[in-house]
Structure 1
Amino acid sequence: MKRIVLFLATNLAVVLVLSLVLNVLGVGRAVTGAGIDVGALLVFSVVVGFTGSIISLLVSKPMAKWSTGARVIDNPSSSTELWLVNTVRQLADRAGIGMPEVAVYDGEPNAFATGAFKNSALVAVSTGLLESMSRDEVEAVLGHEIAHVANGDMITLTLIQGVVNTFVVFMARVVGFFVDKVLLRNNGERLGIGYMVTVFVCEIVFGLLASIIVAWFSRHREFRADAGSAKLLGSPVPMQHALARLGGIPPGELPQGMNSLGISGGNTGWGALFATHPPMEQRIAALQSLQLR
């Protein structure tokens, strides 16, 4: 909760700074003269920008269970399930977080963690992961997911998405007003077609640029989670082996919208700008240079 309050306070400060900058540069007066209520637009942008992201976070656990068909292990029915639950409990204790729900779902090798709160998260692994990897490697993957939870990555990524959404909504409408009222000389009380077309185009363009920012943070958090697994296990070697194994097999696909939650991924070339995961080679190299205290 403290993380959420501090982050929201920071974002509010960013919005206020944006408003001041617009006024200092004279943009605020210009858009006000064009008929824009900057304050109301900022509030509207914040509400639109954050509402969807926060709702998605709050329903992330039930949606993940439903979309993947994950079965929560309430009463372990096999030695593997018992080992899985006990391992997650041990890792959660080391990380100082509450015991997450542990689930298994049918699919190719992959794993994910989600949830709005670090003390009531969900950690799920696929049957393909359990069948294709050694227990040391699976433990490293579980450590990676527990590190995500302990770092508050799901919350932070959601709030960052909310921030960039806010800027996309705000700037698209400012440009739309400018085009409609200034360039197209629309002096009518109602906004014209120029506004609607400009906002539509700007939301696409700004949205693509914003997704690059979100993807960069997502890649950064993967490095942190890899390092977190190494610290929880006391050695980076199991995580290196797990990543090397995952790099040699096709990753299990997750439902649309959950790709950033998986253990593996990554693109090359221009696609790397939008990738939620770094290449396996970079992650392994980062672990090799990791200094554990």
Structure 2
Amino acid sequence: MRHARLRLSLLSRMGVALAVLLVVSVAIAVTAIVAGGVLAWLVLLPVLYALETLLLPVFGEYYGLLHWVLTDPAPVVIAAGTVLLPLLYFRPVRAKIRAFRTELGKAGAPASETHPELAEVVRRLAQQADVPEPDIYVADRRRPESYALGGRPDGTVIVTTGLLNRLSAAELEAVLAHELSHLVNGDSRIMNLVLVPMLIAEQVGSDDPPSRRLLVSQPLAYLAHLVLWAALSVLTTVQRWACQLAIAVLSRSRELAADRGAAELTGSPSDLASALEALSDNRERPREDKRTWAKSAGALDILPRETAVGSRGLLRTHPDIETRLQHLETMVVERTSAGQ
């Protein structure tokens, strides 16, 4: 009964997070369309002016295009913004995510060459889960970390030497089972997908304020640019925060689901609990200063990039360690009761 309530709670939280993301994604798409459309509209005005004042009178024709675009800009803004949306925002964001995931996925050396026993554990766990064996790499980093990228057919698991040096064999197997559960559930692909609207909002609102030189030469243009920049900055900031909140709720739910999947796969919830306790004692602030889109890797790690920041507040990407340990302890009790 408790198990069923836990699953229902996880599903309901995922549903709420996805609903919020859907609403915010639509708002972000509209904002991006309007921003790109206004830009195209401003570029079109001098072009039409040149056509109607310089070229068309030569042929004795006048179509009133400039007047139409000035008095009814909405169709032009919407049409141009829709066409430019994938070019200005969607493709660059997806390219950044793919490049980062590729770089992360190639980190380190194949475990089959450096740690064959590790590759054997992953092979056995994949057979138990009835999924294709993922690639596994070992990155030479002191900080204990583990990631899962991709999905069932083309998954990759990455662990660091810091993780290998800190955990026992049973704890390491539990962590690998946790990452394999992420692959089974397609969590990396889902997180890639839901990150797109947030990063689009970030890109729409990333322009710098207008130069003060424009204030001297064209004060009206400066004022219009300043108002547009301020409005986009405020709007996209609110949208990004809403996305981050929904992504955090979704990520926390999927971490609990991966914990449960790992415990079921290994048959030992206590090993994963022991691993989480061991790792949580050694989380420190990462030294590298990564860009916002690269920080998304923190949501893929088995624990947040730093416990003091990543596991507290509404925007935390992971459940707090006490909640995770409590859920695993509940599974231990359930298994003990079933065994009796």
On whether the aligned pair clears a TM of 0.5, the verdict is yes
**Residues 60-71 of structure 1 mapped to structure 2, 5 A cutoff:** 60-65=100-105, 69-71=107-109
Structure 1 unaligned segments of length 5 or more: list them: 1-6, 20-31, 173-186
TM-aligned CA distance change 1:111 to 1:270, over 3 Å: closer
**Residues 5-84 of structure 1 mapped to structure 2, 5 A cutoff:** 15=26, 35=74, 37-38=77-78, 41=81, 44-45=84-85, 50-65=90-105, 69-76=107-114, 81-84=115-118
Q: In the alignment, what sits opposite 2:147?
A: 112
1 CA distance for matches of 2:132 and 2:239?
A: 38
State the Cα RMSD in Å: 3.8
- Aligned residues of 1:236 and 1:288 also touching (Cα < 8 A): yes
- Aligned residues of 1:109 and 1:252 also touching (Cα < 8 A): no
Rg larger for: 2
1 CA distance for matches of 2:129 and 2:95?
A: 27
Once the two structures are superposed, what CA deviation does each residue of 1:58-89 show, in whole Å capped at 9, x if it has no partner? 445531145xx41123435xxxx122001111
Q: In the alignment, what sits opposite 1:273?
A: 314
Q: How many equivalent residue pairs? A: 250
Segment of structure 1 superposing worse, 104-113 or 261-270 = 261-270
What TM-score does the superposition give when structure 1 sets the normalisation length? Answer: 0.70
Structure 1 residue 157, shift from structure 2 partner: 1.0
Secondary structure at the residue paired with 1:274?
Answer: coil
1 CA distance for matches of 2:88 and 2:313?
A: 28
Structure 1 residue 205, shift from structure 2 partner: 3.0
Structure 1 residue 56, shift from structure 2 partner: 4.4
Does residue 1:230 correspond to 2:263, yes or no?
Answer: yes
- Aligned residues of 2:149 and 2:183 also touching (Cα < 8 A): yes
Once the two structures are superposed, what CA deviation does each residue of 1:152-171 show, in whole Å capped at 9, x if it has no partner? 0011111112245567889x
TM-aligned CA distance change 1:39 to 1:166, over 3 Å: farther
User: How many percent of aligned residue pairs carry the same amino acid?
Assistant: 26
Q: In the alignment, what sits opposite 2:155?
A: 121
- Pick aligned residue for 2:298 from 241, 251, 259: 259
1 CA distance for matches of 2:166 and 2:91?
A: 40
- Aligned residues of 1:53 and 1:159 also touching (Cα < 8 A): no
What TM-score does the superposition give when structure 2 sets the normalisation length? Answer: 0.61
Structure 1 residue 42, shift from structure 2 partner: 5.5
TM-aligned CA distance change 1:102 to 1:168, over 3 Å: closer
**Residues 197-208 of structure 1 mapped to structure 2, 5 A cutoff:** 197-208=230-241
- Aligned residues of 2:175 and 2:275 also touching (Cα < 8 A): yes
> Counterpart amino acid of 2:191?
L
- Pick aligned residue for 2:242 from 197, 209, 213: 209
Does residue 1:97 correspond to 2:131, yes or no?
Answer: yes
More helix by share: 2
Structure 1 residue 130, shift from structure 2 partner: 1.2
> Counterpart amino acid of 1:94?
Q
Structure 1 residue 53, shift from structure 2 partner: 4.9
2 CA distance for matches of 1:168 and 1:108?
A: 29
Q: In the alignment, what sits opposite 1:24?
A: none
- Aligned residues of 1:113 and 1:121 also touching (Cα < 8 A): yes
- Pick aligned residue for 1:244 from 277, 286, 305: 277
Does residue 1:88 correspond to 2:122, yes or no?
Answer: yes
TM-aligned CA distance change 1:269 to 1:137, over 3 Å: closer
